[in-house]
Chain A
Amino acid sequence: MTEVLWWFFAAIIVAASLGVVVARSVIHSAIFLIGSLAGVGAMYVFLTVDFLALVQFLIYGGAVTVLILLALMLTRADVTGIPEKLNGPQAPFAALVGAGLMAILIGVAVGTTWPGDVSGRALNVPIELISQKLFLDYGPPFVIASVLLLVALVGAIILARQEEGE
């Protein structure tokens, strides 16, 4: 039963990703992105790291997509209503490159034998483990990451603010 659900969510993710890159309207792409991110969150649930799933929904679905939608609205160039072309001149070649990359990655992934039992069994990752690792073993990176966020925040403000007279 769970397997069927898994395949369902996998299909959603793939469809949504495709939607992101081929949609005719930028807003449509943004909505599809939300779908894709949500699907990945569901995947995290299947992998029993619920904490990560929550983080995914919150940050990506909440913050990042809002940010993207905001930027889209601020940079709309087609005020005249004429839909402008969304694909650049090298799109066909990009498709080839993407396909090639996919082939290589899948080939490597499937072809390698991974150490350990990978057939699919009951996973169980307790949340205490995550907190333990995050705050104890990887405490310093955690703090640095917070500094990083502060820097990004300040940087974004400086970059995007309007000067006098603009």
Chain B
Amino acid sequence: MVPLDNYLVLSAIIFSIGVYGVLARRSAVLILMSVELMLNAVSLNFVAFAAYLDPTRITGAIFAVFVITVAAAEVGLALAIVIRLFRNRATANVDEAASLKW
């Protein structure tokens, strides 16, 4: 099988791509999708560590379970907010929500 480093590098790549997505995209939903990417990368990381370094207790995998759970709840809630935002302003672009300017 592959060494641990492979998984770590893979998760790093996905995480960075997710960061790019959060910073570069204009639509709120797209940003949320990038956040999902990041969370996934993190879970992968945890599970890899658990499987390789701690197979008797696999705490990392349990952690990943909870991450998935919370991520699902968070996405639901966040999308509800986005829908609300869309109703108020007819747009889902985060650039337009800039009232707290100096």
Contacts and interface: CB of A to CB of B under 8 A. Distances in A.
Interface of A: 2-3, 6, 10, 13-14, 17-18, 20-21, 26, 29-30, 33, 36-37, 40, 43-44, 46-49, 52, 55-56, 59-60, 63-64, 67-68, 70-72, 74-75, 77, 85-91, 93-95, 97-99, 101-102, 105-106, 109-110, 114-125, 129-130, 133-134, 138, 141, 145, 148-149, 151-153, 155-157, 159-160, 166
B1 A149 contact: no
Contacts of B34: 20-21
Given A101-B15, A106-B9, A21 B20 contact: yes
A87 B24 contact: yes
Nearest to A144: B66
Interface of B: 1-10, 12-21, 23-30, 32-34, 36-37, 40, 43-44, 47-48, 50-53, 55-59, 61-62, 64-66, 68-77, 79-84, 86-87, 90-95
A105 B84 CA distance: 36
Nearest to A162: B87
A95 B21 CA distance: 9
Contact of B24 (A14, A18, A90, A99): A90
| B contact face: mostly helix, strand, loop, or mixed | helix
B55 A134 contact: no
Contacts of A156: 76-77, 79-80
B20 A94 contact: yes
Contact of A114 (B43, B52, B61): B52
Contacts of B3: 118-120
B33 A68 contact: yes
Contact of B10 (A14, A85, A145, A151): A14
22 contacts: A3-B2, A20-B34, A21-B17, A29-B33, A36-B40, A46-B1, A52-B64, A59-B68, A59-B72, A63-B72, A75-B82, A77-B93, A86-B27, A91-B24, A94-B24, A95-B20, A105-B15, A114-B52, A115-B53, A121-B1, A155-B77, A159-B81
